């Protein structure tokens, strides 16, 4: 079995122990694993074609998605699928899909001009986010007009959601093929230890939201950020193939799932 792991550039301030362990385990399982870091190499697009039985798309940077798009067009099987991964990078489209699936999201606004958000502040603060942001980058709570600035100096569109005062720590849910794992995490989590959080027993309703969310996007591996406010859940972010920090035996669980998918594909070919 040959698996191509499309991974983000190593370093860059990220500390992930999970994915290197997934690679090690898959190799131990007898899988021929090639780690592909699109940002670390010269990619010859005309020569790019699927040469692995399965691809794992962990790198959802523009480079990673671009390469995955070419592989997808050429018929590669990818976890998570390229179209869903692209949508999940786009908070505007993602929120629309969540809403269509009748999942709880805060009131959400999109504008090309941040000043247009100002009148909304009279009803309370807004959370302004880059619409293609990751890892909490550039997220800020705007209480008044002076805070309606784009911290990353990016161009429109600007994405804003009604701020819901959390009852406590954020609920982070991780899904691997229907299995839902919960972590309680402070926001914003800055250190690695803060990101590990503490275990959260997932309630049946949160489990239902997580599973329905995966089904809405057509992905098996995802993460959800949920804010509980006045006892009500609000899904404030969804990620394709998150880092699974704080999930016990995450690498083993991911390797088990990826191996199973690969084997299913191989057995179909025979």
Partner 1 sequence: MKTVIFGAGRIGCGLAGQLLRDSGHEVVFVARSPALRDHLNRVGGYVVRLVGRGETRDIRVDGVRAVAAGDIERVAWEISDAGLVITSVGCANLESISRFLAAGIRRRAEPVNILAFENSVNAGSLLREYAGEHLPQDFPLDRYGFAGSLISRAVTQRIGDPASGGPLVFVGDAYSRVIVDGAGLRVPLPQISGIMVTDRYEAWVHKKLSMFSAAHAAAAYLGHMKGYRYIHTAVRDPQIRAVVAEVLKEGQQGLAARYGGEIAGDESDRQEVLERISNPQLCDLISRVGREPGRKLKADDRLVGTARLALEAGTEPRNLGLAVAAALFFNEQKDPSAVELQHHVFTQGGEETIRKFCGVDSGSLFGRITTDAWYRLSDGWRQGRVLIDLERMTWN
- Per CB under 8 A, 163 contacts partner 1: no
The residue within the footprint of partner 1, chosen from 32, 62, 232, 249 (CB under 8 A), is 249
Cβ–Cβ < 8 Å for 7, 37: yes
> Residue 31 CB, nearest distance to partner 1 (Å)?
9
DSSP 8-state assignment for residue 248: T
184 binds partner 1 (CB under 8 A): no
- The whole-angstrom separation of Cα 136 and Cα 49 is 33
Span interacting with partner 1, options 2-10, 186-194, 224-232, 252-260, rule CB under 8 A: 252-260
Q: Is 62 in the site for partner 1 (CB under 8 A)?
A: no
Quote the CA–CA distance of 9 and 53 in Å, as a whole number. 23
**How far apart are the C-alpha atoms of 22 and 28, rounded to whole Å?**
10
One residue of 16, 61, 179, 229 binding partner 1 per CB under 8 A? 179
175 binds partner 1 (CB under 8 A): no
Q: How far is CA 210 from CA 180, 205, 216, 227, 235, in A?
A: 7, 9, 10, 13, 10
Count other C-beta atoms under 10 Å from residue 129's C-beta: 21
CB closer to partner 1 out of 10 and 203: 203
- Give backbone dihedrals phi and psi of 65, rounded to 5 degrees, phi first: -65, -35
Q: In terms of CB distance, is 7 or 255 closer to partner 1? A: 255
Q: Site for partner 1 (CB under 8 A): which residue of 42, 201, 230, 231?
A: 201
- Taking the complex as a whole, the smallest distance from the CB of residue 202 to partner 1 amounts, in Å, to 6
Residue 209 Cβ, how far from partner 1 at the closest point, in Å?
13
Cα–Cα distance measured from residue 102 to residue 213, given in angstroms and rounded to the nearest whole number: 10
Per rule CB under 8 A, count of chain residues that contact partner 1: 26
Instruction: For the CB of residue 27, give the shortest distance to partner 1 in the complex, in Å.
Output: 10
| Binding of residue 20 to partner 1 (CB under 8 A) | no
Q: Which stretch binds partner 1 (CB under 8 A): 40-48, 56-64, 115-123, 180-188?
A: 180-188
What angle (nearest 5°) sits at the alpha carbon of residue 97, between those of residues 75 and 219?
Answer: 40
Angle between helices 82-89 and 62-73 (to 10 degrees): 150
d(C-alpha 33, C-alpha 69), whole Å: 20
Q: Give me the residues paired with residue 109 across strands.
A: 160
Q: Does position 202 bind partner 1 by CB under 8 A?
A: yes
CA angle 52, 53, 55 (to 5 degrees): 70
- The CA distance from 199 to 148, in Å, is 35
Residues 206-225, one symbol each (x = binds partner 1 by CB under 8 A, - = not), give: -x------------------
Per rule CB under 8 A, is residue 263 in the interface with partner 1? yes
Neighbours of 207 (CB within 10 A): 17
Shortest Cβ 163–partner 1 spacing (Å): 29
Q: What is the binding site for partner 1 (CB under 8 A)?
A: 25, 28-30, 178-182, 199, 201-202, 204, 207, 248-249, 252-253, 255-257, 259-260, 263, 267, 270
């Amino acid at each position: 079995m040959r698996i191509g792991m499309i991974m983000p550039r190593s370093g860059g301030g990220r500390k992930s122990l999970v994915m290197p362990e997934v690679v090690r385990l898959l190799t131990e399982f007898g899988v021929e694993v090639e780690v592909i870091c699109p940002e670390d190499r010269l990619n010859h697009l005309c020569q790019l074609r699927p040469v692995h039985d399965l691809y794992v798309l962990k790198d959802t940077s523009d480079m990673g998605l671009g390469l995955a798009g070419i592989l997808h067009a050429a018929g590669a099987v990818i976890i998570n699928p390229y179209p869903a991964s692209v949508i999940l990078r786009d908070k505007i489209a993602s929120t629309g899909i969540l809403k269509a699936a009748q999942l709880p999201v805060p009131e959400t606004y999109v504008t090309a001009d941040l000043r247009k958000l100002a009148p909304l502040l009279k009803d309370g603060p807004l959370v302004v986010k880059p619409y293609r942001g990751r890892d909490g980058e550039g997220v800020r709570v705007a209480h008044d007009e002076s805070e309606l600035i784009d911290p990353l100096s990016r161009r429109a569109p600007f994405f804003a959601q009604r701020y819901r005062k959390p009852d406590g720590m954020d609920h982070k849910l991780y899904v691997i093929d229907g299995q839902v794992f919960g972590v309680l995490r402070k926001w914003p989590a800055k250190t690695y230890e803060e990101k590990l959080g503490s275990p959260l027993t997932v309630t049946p309703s949160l489990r239902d939201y997580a599973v329905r969310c995966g089904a809405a996007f057509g992905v098996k591996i995802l993460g959800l950020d949920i804010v509980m406010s006045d006892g009500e859940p609000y899904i404030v972010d969804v990620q394709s193939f998150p880092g699974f920090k704080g999930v016990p035996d995450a690498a083993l669980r991911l390797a088990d799932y990826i191996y199973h998918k690969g084997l299913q594909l191989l057995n179909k070919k025979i």
